[in-house]
Structure 1
Amino acid sequence: MYVERPPSAGLAGRLACGWHRVSEAAFTQLVVPDACVDLIWGAEGLYVAGPDTGPMPAALEAGETLAGVRFRPGAVGGFFGVPLQELRDSRVRLSDLPVGPGLLAELTKAAQTWPAEAAPPGLRAQVEARVRLLQTAVGRRLAASAGSPSVDPAAPAIATALGRGRSVAEVAWDLGYSERQLQRRSLLAFGYAPKTLQRIVRFQRALRLARAGTPLAEVAVTAGYADQAHLANDVKRLSGVRLSRLL
Structure 2
Amino acid sequence: MGDPGVHLWTRDASGPSLILPDGCLDVIVRPDGEAVVAGPDVTAREYDAQGRHVGVRFSHGLGPLVLGVPADELTGRVVPLVDVAGRAVPTPGPDPAALRDWVVRRLATVHDDDPWAPAAFAAAAVGTPVATIAARIGLSSRTLQRRCHARFGYGPQHLARVLRLQRALALHRRGKPWADVAADAGYVDQPHLARECLALTGRAPTLL
Tell me the TM-score normalized by structure 1. 0.77
Cα distance between partner residues in 2 of 1:56 and 1:152: 32
Q: CA deviation at 1:88?
A: 0.6
Out of 6, 10, 14, the position equivalent to 1:20 is 10
Partner amino acid, structure 2, of 1:206: A
The aligned length equals: 207
**Percent identity for Structure 1 against Structure 2:** 38
Counterpart secondary structure, 1:103: coil
CA RMSD of aligned residues (A): 1.9
Q: Deviations over 1:43-95 (max 9, x none)?
A: 4511001111111111023xx22111111232224221211110111101111
**Contact 1:225 / 1:231 at 8 angstroms: preserved in 2?**
yes
Out of 74, 78, 89, the position equivalent to 2:65 is 78
2:24 matched residue in structure 1: 36
1:139 matched residue in structure 2: 104
**Contact 1:209 / 1:219 at 8 angstroms: preserved in 2?**
yes
1:189 matched residue in structure 2: 151
Cα distance between partner residues in 2 of 1:160 and 1:141: 23
Larger radius of gyration: 1
Q: Which runs of 5+ in 1 are unaligned?
A: 1-7, 112-126
Out of 91, 97, 100, the position equivalent to 2:84 is 97
2:37 matched residue in structure 1: 48
**Residue 143 of structure 2 is aligned to residue 156 of structure 1:** no
**Contact 1:35 / 1:51 at 8 angstroms: preserved in 2?**
yes
**Contact 1:164 / 1:224 at 8 angstroms: preserved in 2?**
no
Cα distance between partner residues in 2 of 1:21 and 1:161: 29
- C-alpha change, 1:155 and 1:42, in structure 2 (3 Å) is same
Q: Deviations over 1:115-149 (max 9, x none)?
A: xxxxxxxxxxxx6xx11111101211221x14x33
Q: Which runs of 5+ in 2 are unaligned?
A: none
Counterpart secondary structure, 2:89: helix
Counterpart secondary structure, 2:10: strand
Counterpart secondary structure, 1:89: coil
**Contact 1:103 / 1:141 at 8 angstroms: preserved in 2?**
no
Cα distance between partner residues in 2 of 1:18 and 1:172: 30
2:74 matched residue in structure 1: 87
**Contact 2:124 / 2:130 at 8 angstroms: preserved in 1?**
yes
Extract structure 1 runs of 4+ deviating beyond 4 A. none
